[in-house]
């Protein structure tokens, strides 16, 4: 699915991610700088914090408890639409989604 990442600088990158890839994997593999993904996607570092748009918020499954707990540790402001990019798996259902990245991850 095509997902657009908007960095805090305003830089926008649209990536066509294979099904099953996490948004963190896709971003880090393609040089999107606003996502770090220090723990490699095991929901243990909170450096893949992102803000999902209304569309994604409506189609994504609710965050699991482990994700909610880790969202307590984000460095930037936590908002109602805060998610961890490593816990969002690309699929056709997410086509056209937009995530905005916070100013800092650590």
Which chain residues interact with ligand FES by CB under 6 A?
24, 37-39, 41, 43-48, 70, 84, 86
Residue 94 CB, nearest approach to ligand FES (Å):
17
* Beta carbon nearer to ligand FES, 32 or 84: 84
Closer to ligand FES by Cβ: residue 1 or 28 = 28
- What sign does the CA torsion over 64, 15, 4, 102 have? positive
- CB-neighbour burial class of residue 72 (10 A; exposed 0-12, middle 13-18, buried 19+): exposed
CA angle at 42 for the pair 58 and 93, rounded to the nearest 5°: 25
Q: Which is closer to ligand FES, CB of 10 or CB of 38?
A: 38
């Amino acid at each position: 699915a095509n997902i657009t990442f908007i960095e805090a600088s305003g830089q926008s990158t649209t990536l066509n991610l294979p099904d099953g890839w996490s948004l963190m994997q896709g971003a880090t593999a393609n040089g999107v700088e606003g996502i770090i993904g220090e723990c490699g996607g095991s929901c243990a570092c909170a450096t893949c914090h992102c803000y999902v748009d209304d569309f994604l918020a409506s189609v994504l499954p609710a965050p699991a408890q482990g994700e909610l707990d880790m969202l307590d540790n984000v460095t930037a402001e936590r908002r109602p639409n805060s998610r961890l990019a490593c816990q969002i798996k690309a699929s056709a259902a997410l086509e056209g989604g937009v995530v905005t990245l916070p100013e800092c991850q650590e």
